[in-house]
Structure 1
Amino acid sequence: MIDKNLTAEKVMNELLIGNKLVNILNNPREFPSELIENLSIMVALKFFRNEISYEDGDQIMNNVWGFWVTNNYYIENYPIPNNVIECYEAFDAGEYYRTDDDITVNPIEKYTRPFIEEFLKKLNKI
């Protein structure tokens, strides 16, 4: 049974170590999609404030995305929240270099940071 007091902050601060998050995500019939959305926003905020690294934020968002798109129950019954998609795509944008960018361009700084900033401004979080 999922803890009714489970918050995105608790997930970020206490449960993202080891397999605890995986155990939560593997209970989709009990897992509130609002928590995933709030977690995505919190990841974006913590990255924007330099409270977590890009690598940590990217890993969290990859785990959230992977859970959703590989879980038939969720795919068939719930749309992926737009805020989750936007946050995932912002972190995804920092994972690779573009052929039209100079080799010295850091994709995290050029793509992820501005996307995260725009995402948070749209939500009136910054």
Structure 2
Amino acid sequence: MSRRNVSSGSYLEPQIGFSRAVRIGNVVAVGGTAPIAASGGIDCIGDVYGQTRRCLEIALTALVEAGGDSADVIRTRILLTDIATWDEAARAHSEIFTDIRPVTTVMEVSRFVDPDWLVEIELDAIVKD
């Protein structure tokens, strides 16, 4: 099976040595996606809902580039620096996934690479051939 790497253009991709998404066969994995603004910097500083929306936008854009769409998502992971804000992240997540209903894990982590990141999102998908 061939491997297809997808870049989101994150400044961290070459520094860490990762791809935003990887597709092998009909499986796509999208790695930890931070709320990077389109112009660079951090999007929606201090706003978990807004940052979650941005993370999902970036992750789903990578999924589309890999040949899938939101209906193909089977798993998401929502990582938060403050679990008390889970409902704001869940609200953003449900706006996209209410009818799709992937397996989802919500967890708290101590911190991310940038202290202004409040959330990161990962997703896995099985795309239709």
| TM-score past 0.5 threshold | no
Q: Which has the larger radius of gyration?
A: 1
Q: Which has the higher contact order (CA 8 A, sep 6+)?
A: 2
Where is the strand percentage greater, Structure 1 or Structure 2? 2
For normalisation by structure 1, the TM-score amounts to: 0.30
